[in-house]
Amino acid sequence: MKVFCGRANPTTGAVEWLEEDENYDYHQEIARSCYADMLNDKDRNTKYFQGIRAAVGRVKARGERAVVLDIGTGTGLLSMMAVTAGADFCYAVEVFKPMAEAAEKIVAKNGLRDKIKIINKHSTEVTVGPDGDMQCRANILITELFDTELIGEGALPSYEHAHRYLVQEGCEAVPHRATVYAQLVESERMWSWNKLFPVCIQMEDGEKAIVSPPEMEGCPGAPSVYDIQLNQVPLKDFTVLSDVVTMFSVDFSKRVSRAPASFTVQLEPVRSGRAQVVLSWWDMDLDPEGSIKCTMAPYWVNVTSEDPPWRDHWMQCVYFLPDEEPVLQGQSVNLTAFRDDYSVWYKLQKARSEEAVTEVHIESPVCWCQAHLLWNRPRFGELNDQTRTAQYVQALKEVLKPTSVCLSVSDGSLLPIMACYLGAEQVFMLESSAVSHSLMKKIFKANHVQDQINIVEKHPESVLSSDLGDKKVSLLIGEPFFSTSLLPWHNLYFWYARSAVASHLTSDVTIFPQSASLHMMIVEFKDLWRIRSPCGTCEGFDVRIMDEMVKNSLDFRESREAEPHPLWEYPCKPLSDPLEVLTFDFRETVPERSIGKEGTVNLSRAGKSHGAVLWMEYNLTSSLSVSTGLVKVSDEKGYCQWTPHCKQAVYFFSTVSAPETLPGCPSAVTYALSFNPKTGDVTMDFKFLS
């Protein structure tokens, strides 16, 4: 059966009704899930198995039947481990119906269906008793309900309910406990992901700066954690201000409370500096003694491991303090971690008496300046990139005239202020969002240009001549950046906007940027390929049914799709030279016909061809361009360098999900790419040549 799904097209800006298969959402969920990543996480799986064996052994040593409750069973892997380790019976709970059905098949395939019951419910709906889902309470509780922040997937409410209604008091738990750690750092780079720094503009008569409004200064920022691969952040990008401290632990073998809580640790700075960021991670003990440990500690802490285990389902956390706080070496401060059901946040205070510490209110941070609602963390970094700003200023100087009437088309952009500073006669700005409109008014007021820039809160196709003071636009400017964009080519919305306002442009209008190009390179990933790689067998269990399920969901559409990834976090090596594949001329309106290109790219370096990376480059003028992708083909380790402010598009080759089809030694890859102006989609196809 087909269903109609409404969506706003990020490239064309049109609201579309698409006919989709009724299983579309399910396939999207499976295709973009972390199941392959988790199944390929050898460190996690091995230690879970060790912990489960130990827990079953302790129960058996007491002369008891080992009855297991596995919450969030997924593929049924942990339940199969438990039964293999000697458990008498296992209740495996999985709320996602397609996953529960897959677990049934996987358990049967491994000959364990007689000892494992799959329950397709949320754990809080599971009943116990003669007529219930479980015949009796379990004495072993196994879960994998964790995310990068530990509690973000609802682990605390699930544990609280399980201990009340589903497991025996004093049960064994795998993992037994989890511990959250924190470290105070100063980092200009990370702080630039949360605050707008003064943006300096070199003028002929000196320097001008774009400053943030007062509301932004003390704003605590977005409430959500910034989870990243801290192992890709070099030591030069931050200064450690404290030793690693233990913030809190959760003992999963005892009753767990979801009630809000706070934990304060007094720490002594190891050096003076500006405390801006709290870096945090957790580890878990799979047994009570702590002899089986799985850690998410970054490389500078986990020094015993030459190459820390790679995983994308559990990373590390970056928390921004509400304000940067000066700290002095040896002068104690109190770091407090607050938590509710699903999130954690931090506050730094001068060391106080115990009574004063307990009076701290637990309030989740909420953005009041609106900037954190409009700009995500990479966008803050982009706006704070002085090198990038200098390129735009230099290009604007080339095209802007004293008589220029400018229209800016980009979400929450600082280009209109730059145009003002550089002497444009009049500046207009299109902002379709009320939040963006409100924020930009504050920024313009803080920089005393509120009377020089007119904000038009309309979509491009709705703009009237009167909105522009009945003037024709002689300079159309854009970065371009739009908050709805996920893939690099989604920012081609600028082209559609340019076409929509064509009647309001002068005949000799200057378009800035004047054109764009889509670039491509074949790469070998160090680790990212694992998220799409089949597992086959995991700890001795056949999970090929899951592999097939993921593959079917990836192949669900007629053509496989590229997906966005911030590649500065995911090292890869170039196997081909970068290649320009499509060009888009913004000086002309969007064409009626598709733009396409076919060709062959030679693989000039040896390696496993995991996929193609695609990114956009914008030609601001004939001589100046900015890239949203490749910065340097390879560094001293042979890895590519990517701009950290944008996500690049990754098209994984089918050989990643079906390695048996990989040619022995491909020498080239043929490609066919096409841009459809009606839909704004870029379709692609690749084939290996031996």
User: Which pair of tokens denotes residue 32?
Assistant: 């973009």
For residue 495, count other CB atoms closer than 10 A to its CB.
27
Amino acid identity of residue 322, one-letter, is P
pLDDT at 294: 97
- Mean pLDDT, residues 229-249: 97
For residue 171, count other CB atoms closer than 10 A to its CB.
22
Decide if pLDDT at 24 tops 70: no
Amino acid identity of residue 112, one-letter, is L
Residue among 20, 29, 101, 153 flagged as catalytic: 153
Contact call for residues 426 and 469 (beta carbons, < 8 A): yes
Distance CA 582, CA 672 (A): 11
pTM above 0.85, yes or no: yes
User: Cα torsion at 387, 389, 390, 393 (round to 10°)?
Assistant: 170
How buried is residue 608: exposed, middle or buried, by Cβ count under 10 Å (0-12/13-18/19+)? Answer: middle
Distance CA 679, CA 635 (A): 38
Distance CA 370, CA 518 (A): 33
DSSP calls for 226-241: EEE-GGGS-GGG-EE-
Distance CA 459, CA 582 (A): 27
Contacts of 645 (CB under 8 A, 6+ apart): 378, 379, 381, 382, 385, 388, 628
Identify whether 461 is a catalytic site residue. Answer: no
Please write the tens of the pLDDT for every residue from 417-449: 999 999 999 999 999 889 999 999 999 999 999
For β-strands 611-619 and 648-652, DSSP reports them as: antiparallel
Residue among 94, 104, 144, 186 flagged as catalytic: 144
Reference 483, options 428, 416, 412, 418; nearest CA is 412
Does residue 218 sit in helix, strand or coil?
coil
Among 354-368, 644-658, 672-686, the range of highest mean pLDDT: 672-686
Decide if pLDDT at 524 tops 90: yes
Contact call for residues 645 and 379 (beta carbons, < 8 A): yes
For residue 433, count other CB atoms closer than 10 A to its CB.
16
Decide if pLDDT at 247 tops 60: yes
Reference 584, options 503, 490, 652; nearest CA is 490
Identify whether 306 is a catalytic site residue. Answer: no
pLDDT at 224: 85
Please write the tens of the pLDDT for every residue from 558-606: 446 899 999 999 999 999 999 999 999 999 999 999 999 999 999 999 9
Please write the tens of the pLDDT for every residue from 104-122: 999 999 999 999 999 999 9
Distance CA 615, CA 682 (A): 12
Chain position carrying tokens 């750092």: 185
pLDDT at 184: 98
Counted residue by residue, the chain has a size of 690
Contact call for residues 69 and 78 (beta carbons, < 8 A): no
Band of the pLDDT at 662, cuts 50, 70, 90?
very low
Contacts of 316 (CB under 8 A, 6+ apart): 148, 227, 228, 229, 230, 231, 279, 280, 281, 296, 298
- Mean pLDDT, residues 451-463: 96
Distance CA 439, CA 444 (A): 9
Helix (H) / strand (E) containing 248 = strand 245-251
My answer on whether omega of the bond before 513 falls inside 30° of 0, hence cis, is: yes
- Mean pLDDT, residues 511-531: 97
Largest CA distance in the chain: 90
Contact call for residues 167 and 139 (beta carbons, < 8 A): yes
